[in-house]
Amino acid sequence: MIDVAIVGATGYAGQELIRILLRHPKVKIKALVSQSSANKPVEEVFPYFGKMIDMSFTNMDVLNVADAADVVFLSLPHKAAMNVAGRLLENKLRVIDLSADFRLKDKSLYPTWYGVSHIEEDLLETAVYGLPEFYRARIKKANLVANPGCYPTSALLGTLPALAEGIVDPSDIVIDAKSGASGAGRVPSDALHFPECNESIKAYKVGSHQHTPEIEQELSAVAKQDVNMVFTPHLIPMNRGILSTIYLKLNKKMTTDEAVGFYRGYYRRECFVRVLKKGEFPQTKNVTGLNYCDIGVHVDEDSGRMIVISAIDNLVKGAAGQAIQNMNIMFGFKETMGLI
Amino acid sequence: MIDVAIVGATGYAGQELIRILLRHPKVKIKALVSQSSANKPVEEVFPYFGKMIDMSFTNMDVLNVADAADVVFLSLPHKAAMNVAGRLLENKLRVIDLSADFRLKDKSLYPTWYGVSHIEEDLLETAVYGLPEFYRARIKKANLVANPGCYPTSALLGTLPALAEGIVDPSDIVIDAKSGASGAGRVPSDALHFPECNESIKAYKVGSHQHTPEIEQELSAVAKQDVNMVFTPHLIPMNRGILSTIYLKLNKKMTTDEAVGFYRGYYRRECFVRVLKKGEFPQTKNVTGLNYCDIGVHVDEDSGRMIVISAIDNLVKGAAGQAIQNMNIMFGFKETMGLI
Amino acid sequence: MIDVAIVGATGYAGQELIRILLRHPKVKIKALVSQSSANKPVEEVFPYFGKMIDMSFTNMDVLNVADAADVVFLSLPHKAAMNVAGRLLENKLRVIDLSADFRLKDKSLYPTWYGVSHIEEDLLETAVYGLPEFYRARIKKANLVANPGCYPTSALLGTLPALAEGIVDPSDIVIDAKSGASGAGRVPSDALHFPECNESIKAYKVGSHQHTPEIEQELSAVAKQDVNMVFTPHLIPMNRGILSTIYLKLNKKMTTDEAVGFYRGYYRRECFVRVLKKGEFPQTKNVTGLNYCDIGVHVDEDSGRMIVISAIDNLVKGAAGQAIQNMNIMFGFKETMGLI
Amino acid sequence: MIDVAIVGATGYAGQELIRILLRHPKVKIKALVSQSSANKPVEEVFPYFGKMIDMSFTNMDVLNVADAADVVFLSLPHKAAMNVAGRLLENKLRVIDLSADFRLKDKSLYPTWYGVSHIEEDLLETAVYGLPEFYRARIKKANLVANPGCYPTSALLGTLPALAEGIVDPSDIVIDAKSGASGAGRVPSDALHFPECNESIKAYKVGSHQHTPEIEQELSAVAKQDVNMVFTPHLIPMNRGILSTIYLKLNKKMTTDEAVGFYRGYYRRECFVRVLKKGEFPQTKNVTGLNYCDIGVHVDEDSGRMIVISAIDNLVKGAAGQAIQNMNIMFGFKETMGLI
């Protein structure tokens, strides 16, 4: 059994962490930290949890969190996590950060993409990018895991195998991603106001989404060279789910059969990736509430393109579920524990 | 004033034709032909039209339709239109066909993509593809207009200007299209069953959608060479709208300012294309019920790609509205009549 | 031709007024007044109207509005309309107010239900409640029309005939109403945040909705006695539409046939009420964008209850459409002009 | 550990049974019986279950099911369950039937409401109505449990406490219920076709819904007299959830505080009923995927009415979850096992 704290527990990712951890047989939730909701019972903030958890949010400081827990999930807004991670680590906690604050290795990217100078350069170096399918061994030993963003998880799981094995051109990658509205968080805004968002679809932050450098960093790391990538996010009128349609240029001829076979082989030992059969393609409803990434593959032989389509639940494999998968790895639990 | 008949009037496109034509100041609806609903009052089939139209559907044959009308809209399923178009034309009607039956110039494509041999080769040649922004002069004189498909309308209006002016590579085109559910028609199916379709997104007919050859034909005609194109349709949980995100490879360097300027210039005289300012991108709700195609343009300078995003209402500019726009052109009415 | 101004033109009702008035053959929109969006082109605030209207919002004062227009639609928040209506009337404009500020005859209700003391008692008396089916003659001569609320329109059109003819018990009325999200207006809030509102239904303001006294006032006026009424509003995950299910207690035995016949007879001359046949019931999609109120009637003989179900589009018959219907009556136009 | 079979496992309730039972620590799923999908792997029919269950559907006969399992969930269409229940019971299985076939005590109601004569009169008598909050002791010993319908569960949990204690008038009950689309099952139909159902709300089967006699039977049983009840179901554009707004007539004066207190007291020991505080009302999203029934209570003192609002997930507390709750009771497991 391990003791767990969640800091910043009142957003959608925080809610999802609570939901999943309540069923985890090796976890005891010891603290739910929230400034805005301090001293409120959980069920007052989230009536969903009535009769399921008998705790209140707390305004606990770092030292008290450190006393209470073995591991802490930081589910704070971007830019807030870097202020507390260091002190938590000094106090011997292992930290799984769901924000972007430790995902980018190049600190110079933070001012550009997040409008903030990074204050914890050393931690940027030691933080491990928490995509288990590619960094499992390092996650196991990590004290600070930077849990991937939702779009990056979906984009990377679809793209990395082909890049890793050199079967596609790293300079010709198009990622067209579609996300449900919960990805934008719990703060009301014009764009997410129901009558504005419902019955409509749009692209947004075209050419400027903050997940772009994260995707590029990880694609380049695996390709062992700089990649050239276009990423376009879209807002879909549904609560949960990301579908990424990824267009890759094959380096040599390949049939759909071969491409599907390659992906199935590549991921055959992965517990949370499901590569569909030839002719089948994922839909987000099949991963709703689940930690799976579903992948479908098709080759367009005329144009020499491979189309990879991946689906995740943005709040599970794209956030809380993957964070718990990382926790399982860090603490030597079965990787699927609490997640199936 | 002209007299109009609609054959196959009980689908979604038929309903939309009635809706728009009821407001058209130069049109009188003389016949609404439907086998399945013959003799039923319109408002029984479509309670929406209660008190708006006092007519019944009829099982009228070709000669009677020819007597009644100056122009006929064929809103039949694919493969049914080719059986009646010839006789209607012989009887001096002008025909606007909303099916795919006269869109493809190469008759050999019909068995492959529509599972049927074409029985009216001569008409294939004389039929005019009804995309007014590119074929206005020929539409004016046409007796048989093949009204474009919904996906093609959206894809072509976004892509053709750049191809026509040679600023992008015809061998490197990716069209990622997202459609609301009404595009699939009015017949219930598993895929369109509410709980299956709602709260989910998926790609479908990947590499095999029947609109592919139509898009390729028109892209190639304008590019004056065979193009290489990948087209992926997606189903979105909303009723109406298509958003196409189009990835093109620039032949030479261009800024976003220049690209936006180019599109605005290209379409400056078009009444139904609205090119948005730099940094603005279309959303389908802004064209719901309208005959506009909204277009946003962005250049990703690193990858040398131009991203063009177009939005239409699949039942208006993608079907009934464009058909009426074509009618206006054919009969010398103001092109926007009844449509604004 | 009349000249029209809209004050407070950037909300959903304002947008709908513009949409409908653009098609009205006897109206010229002369001013669109908005403080928050002054000097912005209409299409910048509402990209929907691109190429449809070439005007900017303006911060015009009362005297200038009075110069510009024959009639003004006030589409301001509740409590703001009472500050300007008087001066507009003094300057010879006729005023159609879409807020609640002139709907309640008893000024003492304003502090309780709207948290404000009324500052224009005299106008409360002269204002005419703009429900044409019951007050047409007075609307014709009115200078100040208080356009009914969306819930009240739906509730009253369903209930008043039975009360007027004394066939149901005024002390036993249950109105269970369901509304789409646009009824709550255009300002983002927690309750209307997409992931909170989508895929859920709830009752809200149970026993305390501000439309309660408005409904009671009009029911009592027609019943010529105080009524006893319970009204429960619900939020539905859709953009537009109100469905009210109304439970009435019959004073004497009646069959469904008789009840349907009674409603059809009662409304037989009304252009915007459609009473459905026995066994048919309205759905909101059949009135979307339209000014109709659809009504279905059923008698439960065991319990002696009559169930009346009414459907409207909350932004059309429930707001902008009814306001324009009132304008048509006030200015002697055909009542349906611009609305069908 | 017990062995479980599900017969008719490919509908929405069947899918939900599998989803929940997979997590139940005392259950082993031994057979998933389906004629239509016999021999197909579960994940082929439900890609949702990929990697979660390694079984195929089977066309097993009654004897083989009896060999394989201790308890069987019948998730067949209405009218099909009565054909197999008897033989399963003879073979010593305990049966939990999710259809309506054993819910009505008066066999004469079946021809009227379900269009079929009942063929198992004896079983009608011995079957126990599976609403644990009211029949727990009998469920414990039952061999045949008739699992309640979704609407009845929601209506009864809201109404029965007040009836049981005699605080409301049994002759004056109005139940206005709103359901998501999955309640209508998995077979496509016009009404559930996405573009017909989305962005609309309607009442349906007004005065004639087949759940009416089931609700009346149970209300009357608890009231110990015939009740007079009106029940109106509505279709809401969402996948899951039922909200019932129930209007009751108080026999004597009561405040909201007292009414809330009464409900909280009545259900204080129930693990799956959550009575909200005064001023709070349920929304279906708070019970999505959960086995809870959330209840809010308000008294309208002017009219002497008590308004009770209840929310459930129609597929969980309204079907599969309640069936598993019944199973837990029947086999002596903790009642919440596998359900929280």
* Tens-place pLDDT, residues A263-309: 999 999 999 999 999 999 999 999 999 999 999 999 999 999 999 99
A182: tokens are 């919960």
Beta bridge partners of D273: D293
At D9 the pLDDT is 86
Cα–Cα nearest to A135, from A110, A120, A113, A152: A152
Q: Which residues have a Cβ under 8 Å from the Cβ of B81 and sit 6 or more positions away? A: B74, B97, B99, B101, B102
Model confidence at C78: pLDDT above 90: no
Please give the backbone phi and psi of residue D8, each rounded to the nearest 5 degrees, phi first.
Answer: 85, 60
pLDDT at A327: 98
D93 touches D66 (CB < 8 A): yes
What is the residue-wise DSSP string for D239-291?
A: SS-EEEEEEEEESS---HHHHHHHHHHHTTT-SSEEEPPTT---BGGGGTTS-
Q: What is the pLDDT of residue A15?
A: 97
How far, rounded to the nearest angstrom, does the alpha carbon of residue B83 sit from its chain's CA centroid? 21
CA distances from D313 to A316, B269, C178, C207, D283 (A): 21, 54, 19, 25, 10
Is the C-alpha dihedral spanning A273, A279, A281, A287 positive or negative?
A: negative
**Residue whose token pair is 């990209």:** C47
Helix locations, chain C, DSSP H: 12-21, 42-45, 62-68, 81-90, 109-114, 121-126, 132-141, 150-164, 194-197, 212-223, 256-266, 321-330
Q: Which residue from B127, B129, B319, B112 is spatially nearest to B218, judged by alpha carbons? A: B129
**The predicted structure's pLDDT at residue B246:** 98
Token pair recorded at residue C295? 């009504």
Percent of chain B at pLDDT exceeding 70:
100
* Number of alpha carbons in the 13 Å side-chain half-sphere of residue D44: 12
Chains that touch D (3 or more CB pairs under 8 A): A, B, C
For A198-250, where are the alpha helices, taking DSSP H only?
Answer: 212-223
Which tokens is C297 given?
A: 């009637």
Q: Reply yes or no on whether the pLDDT at C106 is more than 90.
A: yes
pLDDT of residue A134: 98
List pLDDT tens digits, range A90-129.
Answer: 999 999 999 999 999 999 999 999 999 999 999 999 999 9
Out of C199, C243, C303, the one facing D239 most closely (by C-beta) is C199
Judge residue A108's burial from the number of C-beta atoms within 10 Å of its C-beta, 0-12 exposed, 13-18 middle, 19 or more buried.
exposed
Q: Which residues of chain C lie closer than 8 angstroms to D215, CB-CB? A: none
Q: Quote the pTM value.
A: 0.98
Q: Single out the residue of B293, B6, D280, C196 nearest to residue A198, CA to CA.
A: C196
Beta carbons of C58 and C5 less than 8 angstroms apart = no
Do strands D293-300 and D305-312 pair parallel, antiparallel, or not at all (unpaired)? antiparallel
- Asked if residues A177 and A243 have their Cβ atoms less than 8 Å apart, the reply is yes
**In angstroms, what CA-CA distances link B26 with B20, B69, B327?**
12, 13, 11
Amino acid letter for position D290? L
Q: Which residues of C176-189 are buried (b: 16+ CB within 10 A; e: fewer)?
A: bbbbbbbbbebebe
The structure tokens listed for C87 are 């001066």
Q: What is the DSSP string of C76-103?
A: PPTTTHHHHHHHHHHTT-EEEE-SSTTT
CA C102 remoteness from chain centre? 13
Whether residue D47 and residue A276 make contact (CB cut-off 8 A), yes or no, is yes
State the nearest Cα–Cα gap between D215 and chain A, in angstroms.
27
| For range C148-170, the mean pLDDT | 98
Within 13 Å of residue D141, how many CA atoms lie on the same side as its CB?
4
Length of chain B: 340
Given D50, D52, D274, which is nearest A50 (Cβ)? Answer: D274
Q: State the pLDDT at residue D63.
A: 87
Instruction: Check if the beta carbon of residue B6 is closer than 8 Å to that of residue B18.
Output: yes
Nearest Cα of chain A lies from the Cα of D105 at a distance, in angstroms, of 34
Chain C residues with CB-CB distance to B340 below 8 A: 22, 52
Q: Per residue, what are the HEC states of B181-203?
A: HHHHCCCCCCCCEHHHHCCCCEE
Beta bridge partners of A246: A175, A308
Local confidence pLDDT in tens for the 340 residues of chain D: 999 999 998 999 999 999 999 999 999 999 999 999 999 999 999 999 999 999 999 998 888 998 999 999 999 988 899 999 999 999 999 999 999 999 999 999 999 999 999 999 999 999 999 999 999 999 999 999 999 999 999 999 999 999 999 999 999 999 999 999 999 999 999 999 999 999 999 999 999 999 999 999 999 999 999 999 999 999 999 999 999 999 999 999 999 999 999 999 999 999 999 999 999 999 999 999 999 999 999 999 999 999 999 999 999 999 999 999 999 999 999 999 999 9
Binding-site residues on chain A for chain C (CB distance < 8 A): 12, 180-182, 186-190, 192-195, 197-199, 237-239
| Residues B8-48 pLDDT 10s | 989 999 999 999 999 999 999 999 999 999 999 999 999 99
Best of D182, D193, D240 to disrupt the B interface by mutation (most B CBs within 10 Å)? Answer: D193
Q: Which DSSP string corresponds to B249-279?
A: EESS---HHHHHHHHHHHTTT-SSEEEPPTT
**Mean pLDDT rounded to a whole number for chain B:** 97
Q: What is the DSSP letter of A316?
A: I
Residue in C91, C114, C87 with CA at minimum distance from that of residue C103:
C114
- Decide if A294 and D50 are in contact by the 8 Å CB cutoff: yes
Residue-level pLDDT at A78: 84
- Residue C283 corresponds to which tokens in the numbers above? 């759905």
**Token pair for B293:** 């195609």
Which of A16, A194, A314 best probes binding to C when mutated, by most C CB atoms within 10 angstroms? A194
A 10 A CB-CB count for C269 gives 8
The residues, ordered by sequence, that sit 6+ positions from D100 with a Cβ below 8 Å of its Cβ are D78, D114, D146, D149, D210, D211, D214
User: B17: part of which helix (H) or strand (E)?
Assistant: helix B12-21
Catalytic pick among A150, A197, A271, A293: A150
Residue B63 has pLDDT above 90, yes or no: no
Q: How far apart are CA B18 and CA B28, in angstroms?
A: 11
Residues of D involved in catalysis: 150
- Please tell me which of the candidates B188, B197, B198 has its beta carbon nearest to residue D189: B188
Find all residues with CB under 8 Å of C33, minimum gap 6, and list them: C5, C6, C7, C8, C9, C57, C58, C59, C60, C65
Mean pLDDT of A212-226: 97
- D202 by DSSP, 3-state: which? strand
Gap between the terminal Cα atoms of chain D = 18
**What distance in Å separates residue C250's CA from the closest CA in chain D?**
13
The pair of structure tokens assigned to C110 is 């304003």
pLDDT in tens, A9-24: 899 999 999 999 999 9
pLDDT at residue B62 greater than cutoff 90: no
Tell me the two tokens of residue D203: 């009442």
How far is the alpha carbon of D145 from chain A, nearest alpha carbon, in Å?
27
Domains of chain C: 2-147+319-330 (3.40.50.720), 151-312 (3.30.360.10)
What does residue B21 show for φ and ψ, rounded to 5 degrees? -65, -30
Cβ burial B210-225 (10 Å sphere, 16+ → b, else e) = bbbbbbbbbbbbbbee
At C135, is the pLDDT very low, low, confident or very high (cuts 50, 70, 90)? Answer: very high
Query: In this predicted model, what pLDDT tens digit does every residue of B245-294 receive, in sequence order?
Result: 999 999 999 999 999 999 999 999 999 999 999 999 999 999 999 999 99
**Which residue is associated with the tokens 């197909």?**
D40
CA–CA gap between residue A295 and residue A226 (Å, rounded)? 25
Nearest by CB to B52, which of C276, C280, C340? Answer: C340
Mutation test of the interface with chain B: which of C46, C51, C243, choosing the one with the most B Cβ atoms within 10 A? C51
What does the radius of gyration of chain A's CA atoms come to, in whole angstroms? Answer: 20
CA–CA gap between residue C339 and residue C24 (Å, rounded): 8
Q: What mean pLDDT value characterizes chain C?
A: 97
Our CA-based measurement puts residue D118 at a distance from the nearest CA of chain C, in whole angstroms, of 25
**Exposed/middle/buried for C36, CB within 10 Å: 0-12, 13-18, 19+?**
exposed
Residues B133, B116 contacting (CB under 8 angstroms)? no
Determine the Cα angle at C40 with ends C36 and C43, to 5°.
115
At residue C44, φ and ψ (nearest 5 deg) are: -75, -40
pLDDT recorded at residue D7: 96
Rounded CA separation B248/B173 (Å) = 5
Pairwise CA distance, residues D4 & D65, whole Å = 9
Let me know if A293 is a catalytic residue. Answer: no
Q: How far apart are CA B161 and CA B58, in angstroms?
A: 43
Cβ–Cβ under 8 Å, residues B324 and B334: no
- Rounded-to-integer distance, Cα A181 and Cα A183, Å: 5
Residue of C nearest to D300 (CA): C207
